[in-house]
Amino acid sequence: MYAGGDGVTDPLRIFIGYDSKEPIAFHVLSHSILRRASVPVAVVPLTQKSLRDLGVYTRERGPTESTEFSLTRFLVPYLSGYLGHSIFMDCDMLCLTDIGGIWDEIYKGMAEYEVKRFSPNKAVLVCQHDYTPKTETKFLGQKQTTYPRKNWSSFMVFNNGRCKVLTPGYVNSASGLELHRFQWTKDEDIGSLPLEWNWLVGEYSPNPSAKILHYTLGGPWFKDYRNSDHADEWWKERTAALGG
């Protein structure tokens, strides 16, 4: 069972952060999702340029924003018309599972009548990491920032109708920490997903049971991380995406 926009037949919307410095990451992640999905999906590249051209995103890029989608991710509910559910994913990920399985997590423990009404009781579901980064820098020499709830926002399942506070005006004016620390919603409205849905490569030990790998320190497409943990999985996916 899954819900998209207005009903169960709508595709599952997956917004992937797009950064012009690592376009290959977006394409390989998209391929890894599409070839394993058991439900219709609509993969949307979240490009900052298009949002600026539309006048939706207007703020200047801050010094701690390591990617072009650092803050645009919080526009996903608005871009979804505040309807149904949408997923946001960082581009430096690899999906090793059927993304449709996320609905088993959303509806876990719900009464039958609630499932039929598509009204999960959380505004957003995330993997609630509790860790301190091992390094002071990450890909392309960027400074590694440390803050509470770090990486919670790298994989989010939005219940869009409960995220109406995330308007363009709010996203363009709120601080980065306010957005990434989820101060725009109540703590009790933040649901928890198993860490396997956002397994932090290099921060956590290698995990053959990971559903989604997150190359948060730097992916194999960067020279310095070509042989990182779980690099083989990414290279195999890239070969498959290129028809190899």
Please write the tens of the pLDDT for every residue from 73-95. 999 999 999 999 999 999 999 99
Band (pLDDT 50/70/90 cuts) for residue 66 is: confident
pTM across the whole model: 0.88
Read off the pLDDT of each residue in 58-67 and give the average, rounded to a whole number: 86
Q: pLDDT at residue 244 above 90?
A: no
Element (H, E) at 26: helix 23-34
Predicted local distance difference test score (pLDDT) of residue 107: 75
**Inter-residue contact 149 to 37 (CB < 8 Å):** no
Which one-letter amino acid corresponds to residue 163?
A: C
Predicted local distance difference test score (pLDDT) of residue 117: 45
Predicted local distance difference test score (pLDDT) of residue 3: 44
12-241 homologous superfamily:
Spore Coat Polysaccharide Biosynthesis Protein SpsA; Chain A (3.90.550.10)
Q: What is d(CA 37, CA 216) in angstroms, rounded to the nearest whole number?
A: 23
Element (H, E) at 30: helix 23-34
Q: pLDDT at residue 1 above 60?
A: no
Please write the tens of the pLDDT for every residue from 183-232. 999 999 999 999 999 999 999 999 999 999 999 999 999 999 999 999 99
Q: What is d(CA 152, CA 222) in angstroms, rounded to the nearest whole number?
A: 23
Q: What is d(CA 70, CA 19) in angstroms, rounded to the nearest whole number?
A: 10
Please write the tens of the pLDDT for every residue from 114-169. 444 444 579 999 999 987 776 655 545 555 566 689 899 999 999 999 999 999 99
Domain residue extents for the chain: 12-241
Predicted local distance difference test score (pLDDT) of residue 106: 79
Predicted local distance difference test score (pLDDT) of residue 134: 63
Residue 148, both tokens: 């509470």
Tell me if residue 115 falls in helix, strand or coil. helix
Q: What is d(CA 237, CA 242) in angstroms, rounded to the nearest whole number?
A: 9
Torsional class of 224: left (φ above 0), alpha (ψ -120 to 50), beta (otherwise): alpha
